[in-house]
Amino acid sequence: MNVDKAKKLIAKQVKKGFKGYPQISLEYFGESADCATEVAIQFTLEEGSDVQEERFSSESDVRENEVIQSALIKIIQRANANSVIEVAGVSNL
């Protein structure tokens, strides 16, 4: 999948806001706000349940990595997530 298309699909899901569970949360990490070298995707089935987390990393910006962005889309789709939440900006590692 094209990286721009993947980013638009993720942004569209995030824009919907909280619509209930299951919920996916995305948080990007990096040394600076310009380059996120890691992304954490968290899955919550229902309120109060354990959170499952998976991390992907790259030498370059993960937000521009086609493979990682496509994997995030696949996870969101397969989880049948009602809500996709994205932490704004890039958190420090």
pLDDT tens-digit readout, 63-85: 999 999 999 999 999 999 999 99
Give the pair of three-digit tokens for residue 70: 């496509």
DSSP 40-90: EEEEESSTTSPEEEEEEE-SS-GGG-HHHHHHHHHHHHHHT-SEEEEEEEE
pLDDT the model gives residue 61: 95
Higher per-residue pLDDT: 1 or 61: 61
CATH architecture, domain 3-92 = 2-Layer Sandwich (3.30)
Would the pLDDT of 1 be above 90? no
Q: pLDDT tens digits, residue range 10-46?
A: 999 999 999 999 999 999 999 988 999 999 999 999 9
Alpha helices in the chain (DSSP H): 3-15, 66-79
**Which among 92, 42, 37 is positioned nearest to 64, based on CA atoms?**
37
pLDDT the model gives residue 18: 94
